Amino acid sequence: MKTLYYSSRLVCTLFFFLGCSIGLSAQNDYISNSRIINEDRIDDLNGDCGILLISKHKDLVIYPVKTEKKDFQIKVDGKREDGLYEYRVIFDKDATRNPKLEISREGNVYKTEFTSVIKPDFLIAYLIEEVTNPIRMDDQTQPSDFVTDEKLAEIEFTTSIKDLQIACPIELQAKIEQKVNPSDENIHITSVIIPVATLEAGKSKMELAQKEYKDWFAKLENDENAAAEDANWEKLEELEQKQDAAEMAYSELTNLEVYADLTNRLSINIGDLKGKMKKCYAVLELVKTDTVIVDPYDAKITEGNRLFGIRKYKDAKEIFALAKNEQGANETQRRAAQTSINLCDTCIFYDEQAGTALREVIRIRKTGGTQQEAYQYVNGAIEFIQKLYHLNPSVFYSERIDRLERQLEKQPLFIMFTCVEWKTLQEGKALQGLEIWAYKGKQRPLSSAYNSDRKFRKMLDKQTADFELIGITDEKGVVELEFNRAQLPAGIFFRPQNDGKTKIEYRNMQDVMLQAEGDFTHRQVRMKMYTKN
């Protein structure tokens, strides 16, 4: 009987995993955030709300301020074709619609923070970058500020920055005036004079498009004869495209950007402007300093969160313990600190288990074990690192999972899907006859492209080469599929065969693998498909 010994190539990779550490090199630039409206997108979030962070950096540390762990999740979607990384921060729809995020890089004392207004099944996009000359903006509007002409509104910027630029969409038909403060020649004043009629026209166009789509959709829902005509559904798609275009046009129309050379870009939404309104802002250069927190409890919690973000769980646990025992901490703060301590304990456990599994691989190599035996431990390490990824999402973990999984490419992979209805926070019956489609396209599909079976069929017709029907669930809602680890699809579509009450679902393959439970050859996923009552 031939014995397969573990390859030296895999051992070298595993030595790298055990020994690698992140160097905290000096970083002189300031991390900043900028709104990028053209990256906003619809996403299938099951009614939850989201923020999309785009950055060239893969080591972002993301902290939702004053949001409980159960009310948000962070998904690291990895590197795009343009070299930028995407992070999605998903918030429970009932938890908050105005979340605040603090974002930093590993080992960097500087952070950026912002508060956003979010909405269901939609991602509000921000660019996270480092700049040499950071700027910020303060609202200094007073009740006495107004414009005499009822047809106009004004935004005024006061700054000491000589090359300050204001980016306005041409469609806004705004007039920009610049002058020097007569009492201080170092202070520059820029006024943006806006005809409110252009804002009103853009809003009216958007609302009309929304109404036309809503009315036609209601007609098809309530009129079976109308719903039977393909031409009526084609008209609905045209109205939806018209609605999307009008909403995007209005978003761009109502967004001003403020920037200068080597600075971040600041955004102002002017959608609420009315005739005679005037808003005044001071644009200031930021002085880069370390954050000073006076309250001892808050200072320790902030430091603990920073250490947790860079995976120093034992150090973070010690700091959280100090916060819990802080003399001025109240009972609620002590409970919050204990929750953080428990989370650190869990991460320490999984981190140690992953290290133990990888050391076993090296031991097997030295003592002469089989490749199959080594694979068992590699898989164990993957499972523990996946647990860590769920508790503290980062590219650090996702990249290590990918590298380890590539060592298992020649091993078989079976995934059993169990698909059931999901109705008002409880499971319904099994979904028989549900089609499983492998998606091999390069672009992540928009939820608007498959939110009806008709649209899904249209997508199939247009992108035939990107789709393959790989299975259909049985009477128990179960289907087991075999995958080639070296050629995994980008994602999987779950397409119900019913009267349209159950939504078509899409899951990217990374999410499927992270959700799957079992051993390294046979795994299971339970799919809960949203179904109308």
> What is the DSSP secondary-structure string of 221-258?
HH-HHHHT-HHHHHHHHHHHHHHHHHHHHHHHHTEEEE
- How far apart CA 445 and CA 42 sit, in angstroms, is 10
pLDDT of residue 204: 96
Residue with tokens 């909405």: 119
pLDDT of residue 210: 94
**383 against 81, higher pLDDT:** 383
State the sign of the Cα–Cα–Cα–Cα dihedral 157, 163, 166, 170. Answer: positive
pLDDT of residue 224: 83
Q: Residue 17: which pLDDT band, with cuts at 50, 70 and 90?
A: very low
Instruction: Please say whether the beta carbons of 520 and 407 come within 8 A.
Output: no
- How far apart CA 256 and CA 190 sit, in angstroms, is 13
In this predicted structure, which of 279-293, 404-418, 430-444 has the lowest mean pLDDT?
Answer: 279-293
Q: What is the DSSP letter of 77?
A: E
pLDDT in tens, 230-261: 888 889 888 988 998 899 899 899 999 999 99
Instruction: Please say whether the beta carbons of 120 and 48 come within 8 A.
Output: yes
Number of H helices, E strands in the chain: 11, 26
358 is written with which tokens?
């990888």
pLDDT greater than 80 at residue 186: yes
pLDDT of residue 498: 65
pLDDT greater than 70 at residue 160: yes
Q: Residue 19: which pLDDT band, with cuts at 50, 70 and 90?
A: very low
pLDDT of residue 53: 96
pLDDT greater than 60 at residue 348: yes
Spell out a b/e string for 132-153, using b for 16 or more CB atoms within 10 Å of the CB, else e: ebbbeeeeeeeeeeebeeeebb
- How far apart CA 518 and CA 348 sit, in angstroms, is 22
Q: What is the pTM of this model?
A: 0.65
Considering only CA atoms, which of 121, 116, 124, 175 is closest in space to residue 149?
175
- How far apart CA 158 and CA 139 sit, in angstroms, is 11
The predicted model gives 54-82 an average pLDDT of 85
Residue 417, beta-bridge partner list? 479, 525
pLDDT of residue 516: 83
468 is written with which tokens?
């393959």
Q: Decide if 30-131 and 412-530 have a common fold.
A: yes
Instruction: Please say whether the beta carbons of 84 and 56 come within 8 A.
Output: yes
**Within a 10 A sphere around the Cβ of 176, how many other Cβ atoms?**
12
pLDDT of residue 233: 84
Instruction: Please say whether the beta carbons of 382 and 520 come within 8 A.
Output: yes
Q: Residue 318: which pLDDT band, with cuts at 50, 70 and 90?
A: very high
**Long-range CB contacts for residues 285-290, cutoff 8 Å, separation at least 24:** 285/133, 285/134, 285/135, 285/160, 285/161, 286/30, 286/134, 286/135, 286/136, 288/30, 288/110, 288/134, 290/109
So what's the architecture of 30-131 in CATH? Sandwich (2.60)
pLDDT of residue 13: 43
pLDDT of residue 8: 38
Return the percentage of the chain with pLDDT > 90, whole number: 38
Q: Helix or strand or coil: residue 525?
A: strand
- Give burial (CB, 10 Å; 0-12/13-18/19+) of 416: middle
The predicted model gives 99-108 an average pLDDT of 83
Cβ neighbours for 265, distance < 8 A, ≥ 6 positions apart: 34, 35, 127, 257, 258, 259
- How far apart CA 198 and CA 279 sit, in angstroms, is 18
pLDDT of residue 291: 52
pLDDT of residue 18: 45
pLDDT greater than 80 at residue 474: yes
Domain range list for the chain = 30-131, 133-289, 296-410, 412-530
Most confident of 93-107, 345-359, 442-456, 514-528: 345-359
The predicted model gives 121-140 an average pLDDT of 90
pLDDT of residue 195: 97
pLDDT greater than 60 at residue 492: yes
- How far apart CA 258 and CA 99 sit, in angstroms, is 23
CATH 1.10.150 matches 412-530: no
pLDDT of residue 7: 40
The predicted model gives 505-525 an average pLDDT of 83
State the sign of the Cα–Cα–Cα–Cα dihedral 517, 94, 210, 88. Answer: negative
- How far CA 296 is from CA of 302, 320, 321, in Å, comes to 10, 12, 13
State the sign of the Cα–Cα–Cα–Cα dihedral 236, 241, 246, 248. Answer: positive
pLDDT of residue 3: 36
pLDDT greater than 60 at residue 14: no
Return the percentage of the chain with pLDDT > 70, whole number: 91
pLDDT greater than 90 at residue 494: yes
**Within a 10 A sphere around the Cβ of 288, how many other Cβ atoms?**
12
pLDDT greater than 60 at residue 9: no
196-222 and 230-253 helices cross at what angle (nearest 10)? 160
pLDDT of residue 468: 95
pLDDT in tens, 190-238: 999 999 999 999 999 999 999 999 999 899 888 888 888 888 888 988 8
Q: Residue 109: which pLDDT band, with cuts at 50, 70 and 90?
A: low
Q: Which stretch of DSSP H or E encloses residue 279?
A: strand 278-285
